[in-house]
Amino acid sequence: MSESNRLRIAIQKSGRLSKESMKLLRSCGVKFNINEQRLIAHSDNLPIDLLRVRDDDIPGLVMDGVVDLGIIGENVLEEEQVERERLDKPSLCIKLRELDFGTCRLSLAVPNEFRYENAQSLEGLRIATSYPNLLRRYMKQKGITYSDCMLKGSVEVAPRAGLADGICDLVSTGATLEANGLYETEVIYRSSACIIQSTQTQTPAKQALIDKILSRINGVVRAKE
Ligand code: PRP
Ligand code: ZN
Ligand code: MG
> Domain holding 57: CATH number?
3.40.190.10
**Any atom of ligand 1 within 6 Å of the Cβ of 174:** yes
Q: What is the pLDDT of residue 3?
A: 57
Q: Taking residues 111-135, what's their average pLDDT?
A: 97
198 in the same domain as 98: yes
Residues 36 and 108 in one domain: no
Q: For the residues 194-216, what does the mean pLDDT come to?
A: 93
Looking at the structure, tell me whether residues 129 and 115 fall in a common domain: yes
Q: Who contacts 154 (Cβ-Cβ below 8 Å, separation ≥6)?
A: none
Q: So what's the pLDDT on residue 177?
A: 98
Number of domains the chain contains: 2
Residue 157 lies in a domain: yes
Q: Is 1 inside a domain boundary? A: no
198 and 184 in one domain?
A: no
Beta bridge partners of 48: 7
* Ligand 1 atom showing the smallest separation from residue 56 Cα: 22
How many alpha carbons lie under 13 Å from residue 74 in its C-beta half-sphere? 19
ipTM comes to 0.92
Residue 175 Cβ contacting ligand 1 at under 6 Å: yes
176 Cβ below 6 A of ligand 1:
yes
Q: Is 124 exposed, middle or buried (0-12, 13-18, 19+ CB in 10 A)?
A: exposed
Q: Are residues 201 and 97 located together in one domain of the fold?
A: yes
In this structure, how many other beta carbons lie within 10 angstroms of the beta carbon of residue 183?
14
Range of the domain at 165: 104-191
pLDDT band at residue 57 using 50, 70 and 90 as cut-offs: very high
Q: Per-residue pLDDT for 118 more than 50?
A: yes
Three-state helix/strand/coil letters over 3-30: CCCCEEEEEECCCCCHHHHHHHHHHCCC
- 2 domain residue, yes or no: no
Predicted pLDDT of residue 83: 96
152 CB near ligand 1 (under 6 Å): no
Distance CA 173, CA 187 (A): 14
Most informative mutation of 17, 170, 187, 190 for ligand 1 (most atoms within 8 A of CB): 170
Q: Are residues 50 and 148 in the same domain?
A: no
Q: Are 7 and 206 in contact (CB under 8 A)?
A: yes
- The rounded Å distance from CA 2 to ligand 3 centre is 36
For the CA of 179, the closest atom of ligand 1 is 14
13 lines ligand 1 (CB under 6 A): no
| Average pLDDT of the segment spanning 74-98 | 95
Query: How many angstroms separate the CA atoms of 72 and 89, rounded?
Result: 20
Answer yes or no: is 169 within a domain. Answer: yes
